[in-house]
Structure 1
Amino acid sequence: MSGPDALTRSVLADQVKERLLEAILDGSYPPDSRIVETAVAKELGTSQAPVREALRGLEALGIVEITPFRGARVRRLDVAELLEAYVVRSAIEVLGARLAVARLTDDDVAAIARIGEDMRRVADAADGRALAIVDASFHEKIMSLSGNSTLLRVWRSLEPMSRTYITLVGPNSDPQWTCGLHDPILEGIHRRDADAVVAAIERHFDQVRERLAGSLAGVAEQQDSAAQPATGTS
């Protein structure tokens, strides 16, 4: 198919993909749950074609898995895979930051500062879900200012997977801690100091990986303990 109809379906599929991604990240579709094409199409008032295309897009991102005759389900991300994604994302953001700092205007610095203020506001409100959204927009703004569309596209392919750590850690997340990780980045951007921004980004991802590994290990231990049969004493 080509022409206006193909363009319309592609745009609609992107919109459906974003809606589904939001539902996955907010826990409406937990890991291992099925996503039924017909149900999604009915809920969103569309045909199954854009839903099917959206699911293929989420499969490409590693968020869902599609199996013949069984349909789509939300992937339960492997801890090692998630940590690997942070390593790659850190390297990408370091490059993006170096390119962006060299191009920053006063308006750019002000725009990033406003996102930082939004992040502090939602952190003070202890709204972890809103913080995840603002956090993503902060990093995306820096990547978009790099002026490198290929780099931005690669970053966008990893960001949804990285963002899931907030929903995986859940009640153990700390909005104030997450917000504070960005303060050194903001300070470096204000000074237009590329080395300071890069060092702050690298520390940011090192600390997130350490916290994520520890949090998920704790969750796994709790699940293992709950699964152990109770033993009595005589």
Structure 2
Amino acid sequence: MNLKLEDKNTLHLKVCNVLRKAILQGDFEPGQRLIQSELADSLGVSRMPIRESLRKLESEGLVKLEPHRGAIVKAMNVEDIEEIYHLRACLEKLAVEQSVPHLTAGDISELKRLMEEMEGTEDPEVFVQANISYHHLLIKRCNWNRLLSFIETLWNGFPQQTPTLLPGQMDLSNQEHQQILDAVNEKDESKAAVLVSEHIKRTGEALVNSLG
């Protein structure tokens, strides 16, 4: 296996990006035990960033940390990804349509600030955090709590780090985010909702194609 570190972020985030990509591409089999010493030797790092990375990957649902066994790769297939992104596209469309009419001037100002943060960074991890905040804020004023709970479950079911997996994802997402923000500024909740849905579908399809 050829695991390559990228140039950005802190060491444990570099390691995490490499391991995440290897898991999603099937370099590790579901049920396989990830041995810290072997990963550390393969990547030329100490065990500490490996441990930190495995904890993060557990929070993303890609591995399970078991007593006396360590990190076990969880099953994740293309059908899972397709289901998660399709459901997100449908449910977030509903939530955005409910939320946009009630966004405050402060909310819209914060959306603009997050847009500027995403456009101004080349660091995927900075982009990812701003992107998560952007999507959270778009649906913040939705009053359907069950709907928001379903969306939160989907967000926790798959990592949001597509910029570390898809070349050009950050630039394309910035363009789509700007179109969504324009619709929000126009108070056109239907247009904003459709744009969000298309944005999520496009990302999901790109991710599936990249792992095919």
Scaled to the shorter chain, the TM-score interval is 0.5 to 0.7
Alignment of 1:14-163 (within 5 A): 26-27=16-17, 30=20, 31=23, 32=28, 33=34, 58=59, 62-65=61-64, 70-75=69-74, 77-122=76-121, 126-160=122-156, 161-163=158-160
Provide the C-alpha distance between the structure 1 equivalents of 2:131 and 2:190, rounded to a whole number of angstroms. Answer: 21
Provide the C-alpha distance between the structure 2 equivalents of 1:139 and 1:89, rounded to a whole number of angstroms. Answer: 11
Match of 1:193 in 2: 188
Letter in 1 for 2:176: L
Alignment of 1:144-183 (within 5 A): 144-160=140-156, 161-169=158-166, 172-183=167-178
Change (3 A) 1:28 1:168: closer
Change (3 A) 1:24 1:120: closer
Letter in 1 for 2:160: R
Task: Give the match's secondary structure for 2:64.
Answer: strand
Match of 1:207 in 2: 202
Letter in 1 for 2:111: I
Q: Which runs of 5+ in 1 are unaligned?
A: 1-21, 45-53, 218-234
Change (3 A) 1:164 1:114: closer
Structure 1 segments, 4+ long, off by >6 Å, are none
Provide the C-alpha distance between the structure 2 equivalents of 1:68 and 1:139, rounded to a whole number of angstroms. Answer: 35
**TM-score normalised by structure 2 residue count:** 0.67
Letter in 2 for 1:157: T
Letter in 2 for 1:159: W
Letter in 1 for 2:163: I
Match of 1:12 in 2: none
Aligned length: 175
- Aligned-residue sequence identity (percent) comes to 21
Deviation at 1:62, TM superposition (A): 3.6
Structure number having the greater helix percentage = 1
Q: Which runs of 5+ in 2 are unaligned?
A: 1-11, 29-33, 37-46
Native 8 Å contact 1:100 1:143 kept in 2 = yes
RMSD: 3.2
Deviates more, 1:22-31 or 1:140-149: 22-31
Provide the C-alpha distance between the structure 1 equivalents of 2:88 and 2:148, rounded to a whole number of angstroms. Answer: 11
Q: Which has the higher contact order (CA 8 A, sep 6+)?
A: 2
Rg comparison, structure with higher value: 1
